[in-house]
Structure 1
């Protein structure tokens, strides 16, 4: 078991409470008639800018669906999703693709690195595809924040799993997106590597002013966040400020009736 440490949560917003993304009366349904399943049931949620938010809940609670809808990776059945003041529900595919590319960053359980490129080339790849030059001072700061300065010329096969995920974190940060979504970003890592990556995510909020939303099952991972939103049966049932692993574990137990794994990795 990984022991949660006390982590300062100053946030990167300088006390601002501006909203980076929000959901309004969002419904996501699959199927029709008797087979209709409500993954999200009239959800309202505000994601504060410059803060680290964990989305939690039992399997099938709708937590990944909410993240995918907020990120524009999935459509809603009804309701509205906003990124800053831009409503993304109803955007045409081309505009939505451009918005995700220019304003949103993603970190997934799978590292999604190209094996033929070195770490630096993987980090800058999305900007290269978009025809944009990296902001070198910012890129240097990101690389320093995630501890990759001495690994930039290494290809993925020459990096550990934790280092590969740090490349993925740097890739998400490098384009200075308004918000980063992480779908169980430490799920493929051992507890030590997972703690390192979570520490870098925490630093990116505190030192770089980033806004991060992370789906996780793991109470230890959630303890790095400023806030934990809990879903059950497609609805938000709790909103916990300054979560600790113990408080999160107790809340998860009350929601699911069974203990989640507390291993320092998202399961």
Structure 2
């Protein structure tokens, strides 16, 4: 996969209030002697208007961290905030509403409905919630993602990269405070993966979104402004302005097994 284009901005939002943060976040699965501690008193702040990648060896807790920050999984202890809202104090209905209104998700699986067109898939979450999309914002998202000539196509008529771009547009169209992407290039070839990562980068630079991406691909991480490295449920390192080589070197320190350098 080719490296990312140079960021179009210097991201002055570093000094703004965090888009999300965790304080003393711990997550255990099971109980007693069989309990597994996936996150161990993690403190982290996700800068608004930036692209943050989360990396670590298998079992390090990176996906658990993303799921807790997104309100998809409940912390065992500690606090999680999106903006000025503390997730750990919300009930199930309040959490569902917050995720619907303020969070967008892009997963490894495209999760498109096969009977709907690209445009219908993009606007589906708003349709379900009874909200009409902002026409100007929808047009800007579609233009940024280069989907203007694909809106009438159904998923089987689109390439893998195009399907993932539809999924990215679906995540963006509600203009959420945060976009969480879990291995978004995992089902794509190198070219399509680079294309989708480039569009996530543009969503930060041109649409002022905040993106948090879990990946184990150093090339994918090089599109981010910041990489956070996890090991044994703790954040153990961070890397600003990453390159694929610098990410690979940091990963080798954490995990002696060979790292993946192509699209996943």
Aligned to 1:207: 206
CA distance, structure 2, for counterparts of residue 235 and residue 196 of structure 1: 31
Aligned to 1:262: 261
Structure 2 CA distance for partners of 1:178 and 1:58, relative to 1, 3 Å: same
- Runs of 5+ consecutive residues of structure 2 not aligned to the other structure: none
Contact kept, 8 Å, 1:11 with 1:51, in 2: the verdict is no
CA distance, structure 2, for counterparts of residue 61 and residue 216 of structure 1: 12
TM-aligned CA deviation for residue 235 of structure 1: 0.2
TM-score by length of 2: 0.97
Aligned to 1:40: 39
Contact kept, 8 Å, 2:61 with 2:233, in 1: the verdict is yes
Number of equivalences: 264
Aligned to 2:115: 116
SS at match of 1:148: coil
Choose 30-39 or 182-191, whichever is displaced more: 30-39
CA distance, structure 2, for counterparts of residue 198 and residue 11 of structure 1: 18
Aligned to 1:95: 94
TM-aligned CA deviation for residue 75 of structure 1: 0.3
CA distance, structure 2, for counterparts of residue 39 and residue 14 of structure 1: 30
CA distance, structure 1, for counterparts of residue 12 and residue 138 of structure 2: 20
TM-aligned CA deviation for residue 26 of structure 1: 0.4
- 1:221-232 equivalent positions in 2, closer than 5 A: 221-232=220-231
TM-score by length of 1: 0.96
Contact kept, 8 Å, 2:4 with 2:198, in 1: the verdict is no
Aligned to 1:196: 195
Aligned to 2:132: 133
Give me the CA root mean square deviation.
Answer: 1.2
SS at match of 1:246: helix
CA distance, structure 2, for counterparts of residue 207 and residue 35 of structure 1: 47
After superposition, give the CA deviation of every residue in 1:210-264 in whole Å (9 maximum; x if it has no partner): 000000000000000000000000000011111110000001111011121101x
CA distance, structure 1, for counterparts of residue 33 and residue 220 of structure 2: 37
